[in-house]
Amino acid sequence: MLEQKEKIQTKKDELERKLLDPVVQQDPKALQKYSIAYHQVTSILEKMEELEEIQKAIEKTRPLLNEKDPELNLLAEQEIENLKIRESALEREIKILLVPKDPADEKSVIVEIRAAAGGEEAALFAADLFRMYANYAEKKNWELEILSSNPTDLGGFKEIIFGLKGKNVYSRLKFEGGAHRVQRVPVTEASGRIHTSTVTVAVLPEAEEVDVQINPDDLRIDVFRASGHGGQCVQKTDSAVRITHIPTGIVVSCQDERSQLKNKERAMRILRSRILEIAQRDQAEKITESRRVQVKTGERAEKIRTYNFPQNRVTDHRINLDLYNLQAILDGELDELLDALESNYIEKKLEEGLLLPF
């Protein structure tokens, strides 16, 4: 990593010259662009210099490990251990700074969870995944809003779509898209056999109205009576809304609210995000985990992750990671898993060569 320092220093010098250029100083947009880039490069160099100092301190302390004084040996070991922890943290920080940011990283998201192969057991696991993300959102102080749901009589979900608002939500959850496989004895299984089911997850950066321009003439809006499970919750009015975007064929339905207007607003939020995702994928491939790639068909062989209850194991197949704390993960303890996925992404980007965040 430090081998790249000279190249980054050259970039800093180049940016300094641009910032002193009278033409750039008269152009507010260019001045802002180069100022941000200069600040980013300076931050990288400062951390690289700190890393060099840490590594020098480690080498300076190593000879003390050979001293005859046991107390001095112990102090040297503790000092080197602390320095190595800081060294590892700095290396990670520098790597993150070197990788260009996804423009959508700071956005809120819309998450779509659907039961795929496995019938009622898949629907029950869809509910488990929803609770997992809800618990994680609570730990991160994100705001959760259910936009649409299709529950089952046993407490599962055939489909649930929800929004998460907060800081850097997409950057944390963007690798969650794909087929999630569960292996366990379902509550509906009398003989005790282990079943395998799958649930698909799609994570879409939420689009604002300024991100996506939708022509009202391209929309077909239908209203209908929402379905219910009986009792007082059955809606008596045509408050459910179905919006079809004619150019793309995307269809979004919302019926959770009693207000037709609120259902329409929620459907439009989902529609905008799906259209933005398609536009980004087709035009610039800025979102590598597109909804189509994330979800595929939901077949068991297309899994990105397996939740194996008998072994208390969660396996992420993309990075060959096994974690034996399944219940904690389902309770929302996702940081270890998400950090590993992010680190793998960063390593792959770095293998492509020197990258800078602009």
Residue 356 lies in a domain: no
Which is more confident, 28 or 132? Answer: 132
pLDDT at 294: 53
CA 62 – CA 162 distance, rounded (Å): 53
The residue from 283, 300, 324 where one domain ends is 283
The percent of residues in the chain predicted with pLDDT above 90, rounded, is 40
Same domain, 237 and 347: no
CA 110 – CA 114 distance, rounded (Å): 13
Residue 61 lies in a domain: yes
Residue 358 lies in a domain: no
Same domain, 170 and 300: yes
Q: Is the pLDDT of residue 187 over 80?
A: no
Which is more confident, 38 or 288? Answer: 38
Same domain, 302 and 242: no
Confirm if 260 and 248 have CB atoms less than 8 A apart: no
| Other Cβ atoms closer than 10 A to 180 | 26
Which residue type sits at 352?
E
Least confident of 120-124, 231-235, 255-259, 290-294: 231-235
Residue 215 lies in a domain: no
Q: Is the pLDDT of residue 112 over 90?
A: yes
Give the largest Cα separation in the chain, rounded. Answer: 86
Q: How confident is the model at residue 216 (pLDDT cuts 50, 70, 90)?
A: confident
Residue 206 lies in a domain: yes
What one-character DSSP code corresponds to residue 206?
A: P
Which residue type sits at 255?
Q
Q: How confident is the model at residue 51 (pLDDT cuts 50, 70, 90)?
A: very high
Residue 344 lies in a domain: yes
Same domain, 309 and 197: yes
Q: Any idea which residue has 């991100």 for tokens? A: 211
Measured in whole angstroms, how far is the alpha carbon of residue 275 from the centre of its chain?
A: 19
The percent of residues in the chain predicted with pLDDT above 70, rounded, is 85
Same domain, 198 and 322: yes
Confirm if 251 and 221 have CB atoms less than 8 A apart: no
Residue 64 lies in a domain: yes
Q: Which residues contact 154 (CB under 8 A, 6 or more apart)?
A: 120, 123, 124, 187, 188
Confirm if 158 and 82 have CB atoms less than 8 A apart: no
Residue 336 lies in a domain: yes
Element (H, E) at 169: helix 169-173
User: Which SS3 state, helix, strand or coil, does residue 88 take?
Assistant: helix
The HSE-up count of residue 179 (CA atoms within 13 Å, CB side) is 19
CA 199 – CA 116 distance, rounded (Å): 5
CA-wise closest residue to 181 among 163, 164, 194, 162:
194
Which is more confident, 323 or 243? Answer: 323
Q: Is the pLDDT of residue 234 over 90?
A: no
The whole-chain average pLDDT of the chain stands at 83
Measured in whole angstroms, how far is the alpha carbon of residue 173 from the centre of its chain?
A: 2
For 318-332, the pLDDT digits (tens) are 999 999 999 999 999
Same domain, 270 and 293: no
Measured in whole angstroms, how far is the alpha carbon of residue 17 from the centre of its chain?
A: 37
Measured in whole angstroms, how far is the alpha carbon of residue 239 from the centre of its chain?
A: 33
- What is the total count of domains within the chain? 3
CA-wise closest residue to 291 among 300, 278, 309:
278
CA 132 – CA 122 distance, rounded (Å): 15
Same domain, 187 and 115: yes
pLDDT at 305: 96
Q: How confident is the model at residue 248 (pLDDT cuts 50, 70, 90)?
A: confident
Measured in whole angstroms, how far is the alpha carbon of residue 26 from the centre of its chain?
A: 39
Same domain, 81 and 143: no
CATH number for 302: 3.30.70.1660
Element (H, E) at 148: strand 143-151
Confirm if 208 and 269 have CB atoms less than 8 A apart: no
Alpha helix segments (H runs only) across 21-165: 22-25, 28-61, 70-98, 119-139
Crossing angle between the packed helical segments 70-98 and 28-61, to the nearest 10 degrees? 160
For 59-87, the pLDDT digits (tens) are 999 988 888 888 888 898 999 999 999 99
CATH number for 247: 3.30.160.20
Q: Any idea which residue has 């990105």 for tokens? A: 304
Same domain, 168 and 310: yes
Same domain, 196 and 75: no
Same domain, 146 and 163: yes
Q: Is the pLDDT of residue 338 over 90?
A: yes
Q: Is the pLDDT of residue 265 over 60?
A: yes
Same domain, 130 and 277: no
CA-wise closest residue to 349 among 90, 102, 40, 38:
102
Q: What share of the chain is helix, strand, coil (3-state, %, to 5)?
A: 50, 20, 30
Question: What mean pLDDT is predicted for residues 209-215?
Answer: 66
For 115-169, the pLDDT digits (tens) are 988 888 999 999 999 999 999 999 999 999 888 888 998 889 999 999 999 988 9
For 271-312, the pLDDT digits (tens) are 888 887 777 666 545 434 444 445 544 444 468 999 999 999
The residue from 98, 125, 146 where one domain ends is 98
Confirm if 352 and 95 have CB atoms less than 8 A apart: no
Element (H, E) at 219: strand 219-224
pLDDT at 355: 61
The residue from 98, 127, 145 where one domain ends is 98
Q: Which domain holds residue 115?
A: 109-210+289-351
CA-wise closest residue to 349 among 172, 100, 175:
100
